[in-house]
Structure 1
Amino acid sequence: MVNPTPTPTMVQMPKLGSKVHLPDPGLVLKPLWHPRNDAVEAQLALDDRPYVLAHFRSEKATATYLGQRVPAYGGLCYPHAKPDRIYSIMRMMNAGTLMDDAFTPLELSADQRPRDALLHRYLDALEGIQPPADAPLPRLLFDTLPTIKAQLATKPRVWERMKAGIRSQLVRMADPLAYQMGTLTLPAYMDLRRDNAFGEYLAMLTEYALDVDMTDALAEDASLRAVRTAAMDAVILVNDFFSFRKEVPAQDSLNAMWVLMREEGLDLQAAVYRLAELCARNEQTLIRSRDEVLAGPLGQRPDVRAYVGELEYISSGNAEWCVITRRYHLSDQRFVSGEVTIAAAPTLDDIAAADARAA
C-alpha cells in the first residue's frame, strides 16, 4: 500500500482586521550600505525584470515586486563585499526571494507533483542544466551561478558548501513534512528555517563576498559557529516579527509567531512581545559569541575578523531592510514600531491574477 502524501497543516491565525502593537525590538547593531548599492540596484531592476515579468505575466505584479527593493537586502547584508562580487550577491537576493515566492503558493497543496516539478527545475539549474523557457525563475538562478562558481575557482570548498546549502534549502522547500506547523516546536522550527528561510544561503554568501574560506575555522571553533548561527537566527526571527502581517492574508504558515501562539498558549499581542524579546536576546548571543571569537586564537586572523564583522551586518542589514521594504509595509515610509492592522493585502500572485482578468 502506498502511503498518501502528507498534507501540510495550517495553524490558527489572527483574523483580518485585528490590531496589534509592534514594539521596537531594541536591536543595537547598526546597518551599513555597500557603496555600490544604488548603482547595482538600478541595474538589476533592468536586468532581472524580464525574469519576473515572464513568471507573473503581469506588469502590475512585476512593478510591485521590483518596488520591494529585494536586491537592496544584499547591499545591506554585505557592505564590504568585493566590488566585482556585489552584483552577483544582490542578484542572488532576487533569485532566492523569487524561489520562495514560487514555492509558497504550493505549501498547502496535498498534491506533491507541482512541488516536485519545481524542485526538479531548480536542481537542474543548480547543476548547470538550463531550465526550459517556461521556468524563468529557475533560469534566473541558472544564469547567476556561473559567475559565482568561476570567482570561487580558488576556493572550491566554499563553492561546494554553497551548492550543498542551496540544494538542502530547495529540498526542504519542496518537502510537505516541513509544513506541519501544527506540531513543530520552536527549536524544530528554527532548525527548519535555517535551511528554507535562507539562513545557510546568506551565511555562505558572506564567504563569497569577502573571498574567504571558513570551512576549517567553523569546524574547529564553537564560538565562530555560534556567531554564524545567531546571524542566521536573526534573519528568521526579525523577518517573522515584521512579516507576519502579510502572511495572514497569504495563508503562509511558516512564522515563529504562530509557533509561539500554539506552543506557549499566547494571544497575538503576547506572541508579538515574546518574539520581540527573542529577537533582542538572539542579537546579544551574536555579540557575545563575536567577542569570544575575537578574544580567542582565531581572532588574530584577518580573514576571521572580517568574516565575523560581516556576519554582524547580516543581522543589522536584515533588520534595516525589514523596516524599509514595501514587501512588509506596503509603504515607502520606514516603519519600526506602532499599532498595525492585519489587513487583506494582495499577494503578487493575486495581483497577477487580477491583471489577467482585467486584460
Structure 2
Amino acid sequence: MSSTESAPTKFILPDLVTDCTFPLRLNSDCYDVARASEKWLLSGARLVEPRSSKFMGLKAGELTAACYPDADASHLRVCSDFMNWLFNMDDWLDEFDVEGTWGMRECCIGAFRDPLQFETEKLGGKMTKCFFSRFVKTGGPGCTERFIHTMDLFFKAVVLQANDRANGLVPDLESYITVRRDTSGCKPCFALIEYAARIDLPDEVMQHPVIQSMEEATNDLVTWSNDIFSYNVEQSRHDTHNMIVVLMRERGLDLQGAVDVVGNFCKGSIDRFQTERDNLPSWGEEIDRDVAIYIDGLQNWIVGSLHWSFDSERYFGKEGLDVKQQRIINLLPKRPL
C-alpha cells in the first residue's frame, strides 16, 4: 500500500465541550460592541478581500463577550479591539521573517509604553496606540505592567517560531509547550480580566504558585485545544507549530493517536485547574474577593474559548455546529509547496 493510500483522510475530535462543565455566559453588550470593533479593525488594518471576509468569519467579539461577560461596554470594547488586533497580528506575523517580527515588536512595545506620544507609521502600531490609550485610563499599574510584559513575551516567542519555520525545525514536546504558552497570546488576555473588572491584584498574589498554576492550566487548555481545532487548516498549509505534529514526530504516533493524547492533556488541564482552586490560600477578605473575580475570569476563558471555536469560521468554516455535534474532521488537501 502506498503512503498516499494509507494516509488518514479524517480524525475524530475529543469531546472537550462535555469535559468542561463550567457555565457559558455572554456579555449583554456582545453584538453592538463586536460589530463596532470589527469596523475599527477593518479600517485600521486596511483589510481587503479575501482577508476582510475571512476576518468577519472570525467572530472575535463573540469570544471576547464570553470571556469578559461582566465588563461594561467601554471596557468590553477595549478588550474586543485588542482581541481583533491580536488575531490580525497573529495572521500578519505568520508571513513575517525574524527581522520583520522583531521590527513589529519594537513598534508595538513602544506604543504600549507610551500610547500617547509614541510616533509610528506602522498600522499595527497605530492600532496599538488607539486601544491602549483607552486601556491606560483605568488599567491599574500592576495589571498594565503585566499586560505589557506578557505582550513582550508573545513577540519574543513568535520570533522563535519564525526562526523554526525558516529552518524547517519541529521542536521537542517540552520546548514546544514552553514557547506555545507565550505564542498563544493568552497571558495578556488574563491581564485584561483585571482591567475589565477594574481590579489590580498585588504582585504577591499574582506570583503565588497556586495562581500561576491556575493560569498555566487555563493557558494550556485554551492553547492545546486550539492546536486540535486548528490542525486541519494548519496541516493543509504545511504548518508544523502544533502539538499534534510534535507528538507524531516525537512519539511515532499516528494522527488519531496524537489527537487523543492532546485531548487527554486538555482534560487533565481542566482537572488541574479545579484541583488548584481548592488549594487557594487567603489574603484577607478584600483581596480574596478580587482573586475570586480573577479565577472566575480564567474559568470564563476555558469555557468561552471551547464554545467559540465552533461558532467561529476560523477552524471549521461554516460547518462548526455540525462538527461540534459529530466531532468528525475530514482532512483538507495540502496546498502545493
Note whether the superposition's TM-score is higher than 0.5. Answer: yes
Q: 1:189 to 1:339 in 2, by over 3 A?
A: same
CA RMSD of aligned residues (A): 2.4
Structure 1 stretch 215-224 or stretch 262-271: which is displaced more?
Answer: 215-224
Identity rate, percent: 20
**Correspondence 1:28 to 2:21:** yes
Partner of 2:156: 171
Q: 1:46 aligns with which of 34, 39, 44?
A: 39
**Correspondence 1:19 to 2:10:** yes
Q: 1:215 to 1:261 in 2, by over 3 A?
A: farther
Partner of 1:239: 226
Contact 1:77 1:310 in 2 (8 A): yes
Contact 1:16 1:343 in 2 (8 A): no
C-alpha displacement of 1:313: 0.6
Measure the CA separation in 1 of the matches of 2:146 and 2:8: 44
Q: 1:37 to 1:299 in 2, by over 3 A?
A: farther
Measure the CA separation in 1 of the matches of 2:283 and 2:145: 23
* Aligned partner letter, 2:328: E
With a CA cutoff of 8 Å and minimum separation of 6, indicate the structure with the bigger relative contact order. Answer: 1
Measure the CA separation in 1 of the matches of 2:7 and 2:55: 23
- SS of alignment partner, residue 328 of structure 1: coil
The superposition leaves residues 64-117 of structure 1 with CA deviations (integer Å, 9 ceiling, x where unpaired) of 2112212221111111224431110011101111111111123xx5xx433333
C-alpha displacement of 1:314: 0.8
Q: 2:104 aligns with which of 95, 109, 118?
A: 118
Measure the CA separation in 1 of the matches of 2:284 and 2:173: 32
C-alpha displacement of 1:217: 4.2
C-alpha displacement of 1:248: 1.3
* Aligned partner letter, 2:37: L
Q: Mind listing any 5+ residue stretches in structure 2 that lack a counterpart?
A: 1-5
Partner of 1:269: 256
- SS of alignment partner, residue 121 of structure 1: helix
Measure the CA separation in 1 of the matches of 2:155 and 2:138: 23
Partner of 1:291: 278
- SS of alignment partner, residue 118 of structure 1: helix
C-alpha displacement of 1:220: 5.5
Partner of 1:159: 144
* Aligned partner letter, 1:80: D
C-alpha displacement of 1:42: 1.6
Contact 1:124 1:131 in 2 (8 A): no
Contact 2:170 2:240 in 1 (8 A): no
Structure 1 stretch 215-224 or stretch 203-212: which is displaced more?
Answer: 215-224
C-alpha displacement of 1:219: 4.7
**Correspondence 1:142 to 2:129:** yes
**Correspondence 1:253 to 2:240:** yes
Higher helix share: 2
TM-score normalised by L of structure 1? 0.81
Q: 5 Å matches for 1:55-94?
A: 56=47, 58-94=48-84
C-alpha displacement of 1:17: 7.5
Contact 2:107 2:120 in 1 (8 A): yes
Q: 1:275 to 1:220 in 2, by over 3 A?
A: closer
C-alpha displacement of 1:302: 0.8
